[in-house]
Chains A and B, each alone.
Chain A
Amino acid sequence: MKIALLGNPGAGKSLIFNQLTGLGVEVNRYPGSSVCLECGNVCYKKEKIEIVDLPGIYSLDGSSEEEILVRKFLESGGADIIVAVLDATKLERNLYLFSQVAEFSPKIIAIVNMIDVAERQGLVIDVDTLSARLGVPVLLTAASEGRDIDRILPLALGSARVVTLQVPYDHHIEAALKSLEKTLGTPRYKNLLALQGTGEEHMLLDTAGAIAHEIELRHRMSVRQIIATNRHNFARKVAAAAVRQGDQKKTYDLDSLLTRVFPGVPILIAILFFLLLFVFVIGSWMQVIIVQLFTTYIILPFGAMGLPPFVDRIGFSVLIALEAGLGIAFPFIFTFYLGLSLLEDTGYMTRAAFLADRAMHRLGLHGEAIIPMVIGFGCTVPAVMSLRILKTRREQTIAAFLISMVPCSARTVVIAGIVAAFVGIIWAFSIYLIVFVLLILTAVLLSRITPGEQFGMIVEMSVLRRPQVRLVLAKSWLRIKEFLFIAMPLLIITSIALGIFQYFGLTDLFQQMVAPVTVTLLGLPDYASTALLFGVFRKELAFETLAILAGTADLGSVMTGTELYTFAIVSVLFIPCVSTIAVLYRQLGARITALISIYTVFLGFFVGAIINILMK
């Protein structure tokens, strides 16, 4: 038995999903798309029931990945029962989607959620009228209070009904639907989509296209507009019958502070600053503790066991990889998602996007991209993982390039540990300056050459509300699991490969092979190439390895200022770390990941070479 939750973004689906399933949640990628579906199992009356949380959408007719996914899901009968989650405070708008879902005639029940908020706004919803109008069972719930959530499964399993509701369309549309059905034998929902130009059957699309053209001439309006207007009118009628506006308590409108330039922008900057500080400070602190504990209690005892050298080498490599993964997962991903969940769940995120829209527009992005970009200063991995909040692939691609270049906290360690300590603090800042200039140039270039249209922002402002601790923790935990799952194998494999490499003494060979680049082009000592190579685990490893290979922690005594400066800037720009590559691959696929890696390597060498030539 499979149940799917479907509804508008912000209707409370995730919260209901979490309350139904608990923590046993898996994230699955739907075949052929980058949209993730969350699935969880629950046992009800000794039967295993799979619950799927479909992505939040506004419509089923569109061409966004989420909309296509849900449409295909409904078309293929992906679930036995659909639980339509409606927002009680915006019932009319939510019924618009419901009227579309009804066209696919699934077995369905309707949940009117957030009834607690509606009550505070003085809205009274008549369940019987609504249920009669929609022809399906209706349940009122308040997920944030957990009210009546336990009644969802019994109702869904016991009395879900095939919905027979039909929106009365304009008579020309109805006539077109009938004639298509008669001549081609295609179902109503397919014909409706075809009239709007969506579908895969050429025959149907051509015929429907011709009819749609006629209708558009007659109505002086696009078929999409006519259909949307009909649906909205239907939704309005149903909502008007079922919702009564009672006394409304006047509440203070926080938006009068948050969405104005003043004090909205200072508030935004303060929030972003504290988020970054939180990730940076707490994250770095936790990472040091984890790495220390790991080294003291696992790596050192392992080394003391006196295993055969080859086994020791392999074991050591695995442990290093584990250490690198855990060192990112808990300190950075956890803290970041804690912060991000707070921002998302309170509804502040949409305000931030609104305020930042213009600035981000210049980079070929829009408002929502500000969060990943700022988080990139803390850690690239959660920043890349949060790219999913961007709507189009074009934006995700541009933002991925930029994030991979933003100096994360590990790269800050390199800059601080090498340049600030041995060359000078001004020089350390100059590295940031160089990186930002490159970043803006990259953004300008990418916004021109990246395929896809730049859409402006159309974002619904989510309602401001108090976040749920349980949901925040559940979300963060989910992301950590996801990260460990995707990054660990790659980390371990790379680490073992490097271990074997070293074991057979190939490091010297490698150093000689790349010497033309390191020594001639960049003017660095030959062992620097090995240090850079280790930087792909954690960037600060480049710094640590350099110290080990140079045989002293006082790098200033063995390398010149120019050499140190070049080394730092190359390792800052050079290829993202393995964990970043893993999440990039997961988020955007192999091609973009390869492009980003090649681009950053090229950029690192290019800038390094220029500095070497200029400063010599």
Chain B
Amino acid sequence: MQPSLREDYLEAIQHFTILNGHSPRPHDLAAVLGKPESEIQSNLGDLRESGDITIAGDTSINLTKTGRLTGECVMKKHETLQFFLSEILGMDSSSASSEACTLEHSVSDETVDRLGNYLKKTRPFGNNGADRQKPAVCGYTGATCDESCTPSSLLDFNEGDELVVRGILGQSCAKRLLDLGVVPGEKVKIRRKLGTHALVLQVKGCDVALSPEIAAAVSVERIP
């Protein structure tokens, strides 16, 4: 059995267990990995021989200690790499996930550790990040894209909403907004919103009128 295939299996079992609170059965794995159950069965046999898993009477699959360690390690590598690819390099999250699936098998522990430290350091200045980091497992396709993948702009909210600024997209209008105090982390309120989507934003105690195209560039989220 190929080392990368072994790692994929262990990662998938570990991830499933954490996510669902119980051990997967072969058909669960077949669904997760997108492979026929016959192939899964034969691969599981190989894994049991190498001492990574045990299979209980009700066909539920449990990781042994070595199996779990490997699974956890691969999962961490996947998360770190995916986060790096999507958040720092700006790849879209599904291609970042599939790319991470390839890289996780060859990357060294040291590289991942250093990458993890680097990402931790930058996080205090980042506006989002931790909350966006969604563990994903190889084989998962059509990544479920919820709110955090497409940041919402001021236009998505209504008059009276109190919001936190996450960032400003595009550079042309950014400078004036920054000067007026629309900076990441700043609390703002939509004071008025017209049918034309022009709106008045309250920031630092001042009311600022914005055209829709400017408002669309300000990414915000509701105050938690």
Contact = CB atoms under 8 A, between A and B. Distances in A.
Interface of A: 58-59, 61-63, 89-90, 92-93, 96, 170, 217-222, 224-226, 228-229, 232, 255, 259-261, 350, 353-355, 357-358, 361, 366-367, 453, 455-461
B221 to A, nearest CB: 17
Contacts of B200: 255, 259, 354, 461
B183 A228 contact: yes
A58 B209 contact: no
Contacts of A217: 88
Given A228-B178, A232-B204, A357-B209, 5 more contacts: A58-B176, A225-B183, A229-B185, A259-B200, A455-B172
Contacts of B180: 58, 93, 458, 460
Interface string B153-188: 000000000000001100111111111110111100
The prevalent SS among residues of B at the interface is mixed
A461 B208 contact: yes
A160 to B, nearest CB: 26
Interface string B29-60: 00000000000000000000000000000000
A93 B176 CA distance: 13
16 contacts: A62-B175, A62-B176, A90-B206, A93-B206, A221-B167, A222-B174, A232-B183, A232-B186, A255-B200, A259-B200, A261-B194, A354-B200, A357-B211, A358-B194, A458-B176, A459-B208
Contact of A456 (B181, B204, B210): B210
A493 to B, nearest CB: 42
B126 to A, nearest CB: 5
The prevalent SS among residues of A at the interface is helix
B212 interface: yes
B192 A255 contact: yes
Nearest to A367: B209
Contacts of A220: 87-88, 122, 125-126
Q: What interface size band does chain B fall in?
A: 35 or more
A461 B202 CA distance: 10
A59 B183 contact: no
Nearest to B118: A218
A345 B200 CA distance: 20
Contacts of A226: 125
A95 to B, nearest CB: 10
A240 B132 CA distance: 33
B142 interface: no
Contact of A58 (B122, B179, B195): B179
A93 B168 CA distance: 19
B207 A261 contact: no
A221 B175 contact: no
Interface in B59-74: none
Nearest to B210: A458
A350 B176 CA distance: 17
B213 interface: yes
Contact of A457 (B183, B186, B210): B210
Contacts, number: 127
| 9 smallest beta-carbon distances between A and B, as pairs | A456-B211, A461-B207, A228-B178, A59-B179, A456-B214, A354-B209, A58-B179, A358-B196, A457-B211
B58 to A, nearest CB: 47
A90 B204 contact: yes
Nearest to A355: B194
A260 B192 contact: yes
Q: Which of B168, B177, B180 has the most CB of A within 10 A?
A: B180
A261 B197 CA distance: 12
B21 interface: no
B198 A457 contact: yes
B177 A170 contact: no
B211 A90 contact: no
Given A59-B179, A232-B183, A460 B207 contact: yes
Contacts of A255: 191-192, 200, 207
Contacts of B3: none
A264 to B, nearest CB: 9
Q: Which of B179, B180, B185, B206 has the most CB of A within 10 A?
A: B179
Contacts of A92: 181, 204-205
Contacts of B126: 219-221
B208 A460 contact: yes
A62 B209 contact: no
A366 B181 contact: no
A227 B99 CA distance: 34
A219 B122 contact: yes
A355 B213 CA distance: 15
A458 B171 contact: no
Given A220-B122, A226-B125, A261-B195, A453 B172 contact: yes
B179 A460 contact: no
A355 B200 CA distance: 11
B214 A457 contact: yes
Given A220-B125, A232-B186, A460-B208, A96 B88 contact: no
